[in-house]
A and B are shown apart, each in its own frame.
Chain A
C-alpha cells in the first residue's frame, strides 16, 4: 500500500539556520508529491508540488524540495529559517485512486 513517512516528529532549529525536513514515500510509479504547511488553528497551505520534470522544485516562502527517485525521498529545505516558519509540515502523496496520502507531519519550532 502507498505510504508517506516523515521520520522526524518534531524539529527545533535556530532562527537563521538552515532547515531540512525528511520525507520518504512508498509508491510503485512516479508519484505526485506535495508539501503543505499548517499553522496553529489554520487549514493547510500548499508550499510546493512535484509532478514530473526537474527534480528540484521551488515553492513559496523560500522553500524548495528535491525529488530523489533512487531514495524514494522528497525532502523539504530552506536555507534560512524565520520565526514565522514555526508550524507543522506535511509531506503528501497523491495516489491514482484519487486520494491524498499524508505523512504524520513534522512540527517545526524556531529558537530565537
Chain B
C-alpha cells in the first residue's frame, strides 16, 4: 500500500498570503489529522477529519482551516500568513472509527513564511 503523501513538500510564502496544503491518506483510511511542528512548540494537533467532517480541533486560530473530500483526501488552509506559521506541517491518517488508533504520518510540508 502506498503511504501518506503530502504536497507540496516545500513552500515559501510571504506574510499576508494564504496557503493550501494537501494530504492523501493511505487507501481505505477515513481519518486524517494535521499537526504543526516547530522547534519552540514541538508537535501540536491542529484538527482531525473523519468522513468529511471535522471531528476534533486543537487550539489554533481560525486562520487555520481544513476540509476533507469524499475520497478522504484532505486539504489544510492557512490565511493571512504570519512569520510564526513557519513550520513543518504533518498529516497523518488512520482507519478511523471510534478510536483513531495508530496514525501513519506523511513526510510533511515545510512552510517558510518570509
**Interface of A with B (CB < 8 Å)?**
32, 34, 36, 41-46, 49, 90, 94, 97-105
Contacts and interface: CB of A to CB of B under 8 A. Distances in A.
Interface residues of B, number: 22
Contacts, number: 45
Nearest to A105: B42
Interface string B87-109: 00010100000011011111110
A43 B107 contact: yes
Given A43-B105, A46-B102, A104-B42, A99 B58 contact: yes
A104 B92 CA distance: 18
Contact of B107 (A32, A42, A101, A105): A42
B66 to A, nearest CB: 15
Q: In terms of DSSP, what is the predominant structure of the interface of chain A?
A: strand
B37 to A, nearest CB: 9
Contacts of A103: 42
B42 A102 contact: yes
B48 A46 contact: no
A61 to B, nearest CB: 15
Q: In terms of DSSP, what is the predominant structure of the interface of chain B?
A: strand
Interface of B: 4, 33, 35, 42-45, 48, 55-56, 58, 90, 92, 99-100, 102-108
A92 B95 CA distance: 18
7 contacts: A42-B108, A45-B105, A46-B104, A99-B48, A101-B45, A102-B43, A105-B42
A44 to B, nearest CB: 4
A99 B60 CA distance: 14
B102 A44 contact: no
A104 B56 CA distance: 22
B106 A43 contact: yes
